Amino acid sequence: MPSAFVFVDPYSFKVPGHIVRQLLSAGRVEVFINVIWRELDMAIAQTREKQDGGMVEMLNLVFGGEEWRAIGNEPSIDARADHAVDLLRNLYGARWATSIRMLGHNGITRYVLAHFTNHEAGRDLMKDCMWQCVLMAAIMRGDRTTQSKQCSSRQSQISQHWRDGLMTS
């Protein structure tokens, strides 16, 4: 398969894990998934104690088995989201997973944009893209403190990359 960037934006959270694994194993492929986290989190919470049924089968398909049941043990919605992304990274056979949470008006995670890759350059590029999203959100909110801290932090990171020889012109 030639190089590809695949964006998966499902109508729900029902993306079979084995299909994403096949995509990532095809070579130079990056996968970016809109994980409909709020609904997935609710399904995990409501189904965790059940042994069978349609939703159990669907969650088993999404996570490639029953490891998803442990997600519900995490203390917060964000910790559960991190655990889920890590399970998916392992299932997909991805070396890296980089994610950013999209919050609802109530400040709670609504969905997670997750990038899965086996290529360091792809991971670095996605981290930069996500960084720009965070900075743009701060600008749109008029949050000068966040902007200032993030710009200073980012300048330090870029300087370190240059010193380490990781960035080229």
Alpha-carbon gap, residue 53 to 26, rounded angstroms: 33
Spans of all domains in the chain: 4-118, 119-169
pLDDT band per the 50, 70, 90 thresholds, residue 9: confident
Residue 124 has pLDDT above 60, yes or no: yes
What local confidence, expressed as pLDDT, does residue 139 receive?
63
pLDDT band per the 50, 70, 90 thresholds, residue 169: very low
pLDDT digits (tens, 9 = 90+) for 32-70: 999 989 998 998 988 877 777 778 888 999 999 999 999
**Can you spell out the DSSP letters for the chain?**
---EEEEE--SSS---HHHHHHHHTTSSEEEEEEE-HHHHHHHHHHHTT--SSHHHHHHHHHHTSSGGGGGGGSSSHHHHHHHHHHHHHHHHT-SEEEEEEEE-TTSSEEEEEEEEES-HHHHHHHHHHHHHHHHHHHHHHT-HHHHHHHHHHHHHHHHHHHHHT----
φ, ψ for residue 3 (rounded to 5)?
-55, 140
Alpha-carbon gap, residue 159 to 167, rounded angstroms: 10
pTM here is 0.76
% of the chain with per-residue pLDDT over 70 = 78
